[in-house]
Chains A and B, each alone.
Chain A
């Protein structure tokens, strides 16, 4: 398996623009997570799905952030409108069963810069 795939790897946009980050989890995994990492705050869990169903979005910072998982092999994280403080590395991770215990496999991340 190729592991978790994220695209794009780098995104530079201007304030106010819509940004869409994409993730393909490992085939067969039933949990999908979105994280954000910054120097100031470290890693933060934003939202996660189980079997394509939203379970917890309490980590989403504002209504400008939204995520979808239309099927088992694809998820998106959207920011609309984007702001400079959204600049961060966004990671997608997936795992199989026993949430909180079983290992999560992280993608390479998308580095987002909002000017």
Chain B
């Protein structure tokens, strides 16, 4: 059964500090891995997408890494801001016969305090 596990479940940090969120997956066949940011009361917004051949991808202060061998991904947030307070969701997609098969993690809830 395909699974995506995220850790920690929740995290509280001070503004300006860095943090790293983890995503471990058992999804086969692997197509890609995407990180979403979801603000309270809103829909998810894509931060990055990574394919099998990509190790690192950045989007401003967000940097995602992917280790396809160990089936792990991380999302690093640099110099956190209050607006980073949100839920971060890891989604691993599988593709079979052209279909779309996403497996979602439960998310990490990040709170940034001033």
Contacts and interface: CB of A to CB of B under 8 A. Distances in A.
Interface of A: 4, 42-45, 48, 55-56, 91, 93, 99-101, 103-104, 106-109
B93 interface: yes
A103 B43 contact: no
Given A99-B100, A100-B32, A100-B93, 5 more contacts: A48-B100, A100-B102, A101-B31, A101-B49, A108-B42
Interface of B: 31-32, 41-46, 49, 51, 89, 91, 93, 95, 98-102, 104-107
B100 A56 contact: yes
Given A99-B100, A100-B95, A101-B32, A42 B106 contact: yes
Contacts, number: 47
Contacts of B98: 99
A16 B73 CA distance: 43
B99 A107 contact: no
A107 B106 CA distance: 19
Contacts of B106: 42
25 contacts: A4-B43, A42-B104, A42-B106, A42-B107, A43-B104, A44-B104, A45-B102, A56-B99, A91-B44, A99-B98, A100-B31, A100-B32, A100-B95, A100-B100, A100-B101, A101-B31, A101-B32, A101-B49, A101-B93, A103-B46, A104-B46, A106-B45, A108-B41, A109-B41, A109-B42
